Amino acid sequence: MRNDIKLVAFDLDGVLIDGGGSWTAAHNGLGTLEASGVNGEAYFSGKISFEEWATRDVSLWEGVEIGKLKEILFRSELMPGIDDTLSVLKKKYKIAIISGGLKLLADYVKELYGLDYSYGNEILVRNGKVAGIKQAVDFKGKGKILSEIARKEGITTKQCAAVGDYLNDIPMFREAGFSIAFNPKDESVEKSADVVVAGKDLRGILKYLG
């Protein structure tokens, strides 16, 4: 257990939220999953930037009532053990969410548990309907955001712990003083973390942070 940690930064999708994540949940709920696959393929093959990927994906939802999108996202299943885990950690640390997903869901979880920070990609709204996206967290940007939060708190990133499960969490792991790969989706995520917690029970991280 680390005694110098002041803040814990969590990924959202696959860590605080169970399932395929906020992008997938939105596409599933709005019937645009198949169309979005073309955009993902273009990004991962290097044909377009992350910003272009996000812009193209959200363009599939343009004109959708924001209330409908919220309803879909807020039905997302929370990770088992989240209540106990955040209750314990909030007594000792500041808590941040840094998500490459949608800020709508990150903000919802932040408010639900009374957390300190939430970062994600922000849906733009015009006349109550989806009108675009303000891309704030790209695939390699989580480390930079962790640095920004640390500066706000007057601490160093080495006084921060990071909990994530996917490749885009590795930059956050590199900045943090302590990193936990929670139920990681890739071997390189495991290798980049200080410890690995397998299985879908968030309480497993309390061994290291509780």
- Cα 61 → chain centroid: 21
In percent, the amount of the chain with pLDDT more than 70 equals 99
pLDDT at 139 over 90: no
Residue 170 phi, psi dihedral angles, 5° rounding: -60, -40
Domain ranges of the chain: 7-18+78-209, 23-73
CATH topology of domain 7-18+78-209: Rossmann fold (3.40.50)
Strands 129-134 and 117-126: antiparallel
Mean pLDDT in the chain? 95
pLDDT at 50 over 90: no
pLDDT at 143 over 90: yes
* pLDDT value, residue 138: 84
Residue 69 phi, psi dihedral angles, 5° rounding: -65, -45
Active site residues: 11, 13
CB count, 10 Å around CB of 209? 18
